[in-house]
Amino acid sequence: MIGNSLNKLDPKEFDAHKAHHLLKRAGFGGNARQIEAIANLGLEDAVDFIVDYQGISETETIQEDRFDKDIMRPPTSSERQSFRKIRESGDEAALEVLRTERQRRQREDRKQVAELEEWWLKRLIETPRPLEEKLTLFWHGHFATGYRTIENSYHMFQQNNLFRTHALGNFKEDLVRGIIHDPAMIKYLNNDKNRKGAPNENLARELMELFTLGEGQDYSEDDIKEGARTLTGYNVEDDAFVFRSRQHDSGTKSIFKKRGQFDGDDFVDLIFTRRSVSTFVVWKLYRYFVNDLPHEPTREVKSFVQAIGNLFKRNDWELKPVMKAIFLSKHFYDDANVNSIIKSPIQLIVQSMRSMNPPQRKKMLRTLAIASDLMGQRLFGPPSVKGWDGGRTWINTSTMFMRHNTLLYLITGQRPDGRAWEADSSQFNAMQVLEKEKSDPKRVVKELLINHLGVDTPDSSRVSTLLDYLKTQHNVIDNHSVMGLLTLISAMPEYQLC
């Protein structure tokens, strides 16, 4: 049974519809030409092309100094000394200067995190390596850290690069070990306050509960307490990790019934001996890439996840073989899994941008970042360390309107946030979405439904709704009527699925 769970899809079955499914899930979809190109590669080559993305050159090689690292730099020791003197003197005027300066830096930094948000959104939209950005977003939600708490945009940028660099690397060595050395995470989960004799359990707890094992799985409250001791002294200096041996508790700890003078890195090794570690993150990958599972998973799903978990462990926590196995599997392409995931706000925006190619509008990235936030997903601002709940929690009556109105913005330039005075009337060259048919209403409607809803065969009632619309346009296919069609398609409940 388990052996069969990873059966590959018969390559002969890999058609345009399945290629589209792959492109949406492993990235953010694409236009008809891109879908066809992926289909023409055939299953194996298509999966290799998407997963082995290192060979594709990036839109922008990321430089460490892409953003200003000094806005929130900690004070030097001589600065600290002079601050202390000012505070002790109670000199109100001098204190006021300090306060004003601090507020100025905070303002500056908030501006930079907004730039960072736009910069990432642009990468998501433009990257030739969609899986890389899609996984970067996955890790951001998995090892969730929020700017609002740490108030240091440069640390968020560094963390974002950690996720991107190791998006498809080794889960244990690169990501989990990386995150306990990551300045943003150390601050977010207060490990900078975790010291010998005064432990702070936050990082130790989440490391097991949210990052590797799952809540209440395979560990006890004592393991958390002892784990916290291993992480004492894991701290941040300026923009880098620092191990402060004087804050570190080097005594003997007992974790998972093993005793030793463990440090945080040993703690990671110990966690990866637990049974739950092989499937916990795989379940999350499954929800993100295969099916967001609004209901109790079936036996088939459970055995698929178990089989992937076994593969993950056999490959010493390398992610690449896992992603390939998923994208090659028959299970991934099952009808039950196609169009089964509710698009995250970012998926909705980026996929729509990529498949429709609307015109550049003024302040477009800012507008889209705001729209995404209003739909419940702010980059660099997950609601808590648990990340985004995803699935059906994305959708309620207010976010539904925001979704429709965001699409309306892409198509017409009308703002989704009521700031009508900032509307942008650049004309959308909508005819370019029609790759094959440009005049026959029935064929145009069918092509658009297939490409924008990702369906194999369009629902007949949807076809007739769109044909009804074209009748009001005297069956003329032009920019105006295609914009109308796209407006209607993007307002269909099906459009929220991918």
Write out the residues near another protein by the rule CB under 8 A: 92-93, 95-96, 99, 148-149, 292, 294-295, 339-342, 373-374, 383-385, 389, 392-393, 395-398, 400-401, 404-405, 408, 412, 414, 416-418, 459-462, 465, 468-469, 471-473, 484, 487-488, 491-494, 496-497
CB of 170 to another protein, least distance (A): 29
- End-to-end Cα, the chain, rounded Å: 29
d(CA 407, CA 351): 11
CB of 381 to another protein, least distance (A): 11
- The per-residue DSSP string of 32-67 comes to HHHHHHHHHH-HHHHHHHHH-GGGSPPSSPPPGGGS
Number of helices and strands (H, E) in the chain? 23, 4
The CB-side HSE value for 338 (13 A sphere, CA atoms) comes to 16
Q: Which is nearer to another protein, 310 or 473 (CB)?
A: 473
Q: CA dihedral in degrees (242, 247, 250, 252; nearest 10)?
A: -120
Q: Which is nearer to another protein, 73 or 386 (CB)?
A: 386
Q: Which is nearer to another protein, 78 or 397 (CB)?
A: 397
Closest-CA residue to 454 (of 368, 354, 375, 376): 354
Q: Which is nearer to another protein, 241 or 469 (CB)?
A: 469
Q: Which is nearer to another protein, 40 or 398 (CB)?
A: 398
Residue 408 neighbours by CB under 8 Å, 6+ apart: 414, 416, 487, 490
Q: Which is nearer to another protein, 68 or 417 (CB)?
A: 417
CB of 352 to another protein, least distance (A): 15
CB of 373 to another protein, least distance (A): 7
Q: Which is nearer to another protein, 67 or 495 (CB)?
A: 495
d(CA 27, CA 444): 26
CB of 468 to another protein, least distance (A): 5
CB 211 within 8 A of CB 185: no
What is the SS3 assignment for 57-102?
Answer: CCCCCCCHHHCCCCCCCCCCHHHHHHHHHHHHHCCHHHHHHHHHHH
CB of 402 to another protein, least distance (A): 8
* Alpha-carbon dihedral sign for residues 448, 454, 458, 461: negative
Q: Which is nearer to another protein, 401 or 476 (CB)?
A: 401
Q: Which amino acid makes up residue 50?
A: I
CB 170 within 8 A of CB 319: yes
Q: 16-25 vs 32-41: helix axis angle to the nearest 10?
A: 110
Q: Which is nearer to another protein, 148 or 258 (CB)?
A: 148
Closest-CA residue to 223 (of 205, 248, 239): 205
CB of 346 to another protein, least distance (A): 17
Q: Which is nearer to another protein, 95 or 114 (CB)?
A: 95
CB of 77 to another protein, least distance (A): 25
Bridge partners (DSSP) of residue 236 are 241
CB of 479 to another protein, least distance (A): 13
- Extract the tokens encoding 149: 């708490």
Q: Which is nearer to another protein, 317 or 428 (CB)?
A: 428
Q: What is the DSSP letter of 387?
A: -
CB 219 within 8 A of CB 228: no
User: In sequence order, which ranges of 363-440 are alpha helices (DSSP H)?
Assistant: 364-374, 397-412
Classify 237 as helix, strand or coil. Answer: strand
Q: Which is nearer to another protein, 190 or 245 (CB)?
A: 190
CB of 411 to another protein, least distance (A): 9
User: What values do phi and psi take at 259, rounded to 5?
Assistant: -115, 145
CB of 151 to another protein, least distance (A): 9
CB of 421 to another protein, least distance (A): 14
d(CA 288, CA 78): 49
Q: CA dihedral in degrees (286, 288, 291, 296; nearest 10)?
A: 70
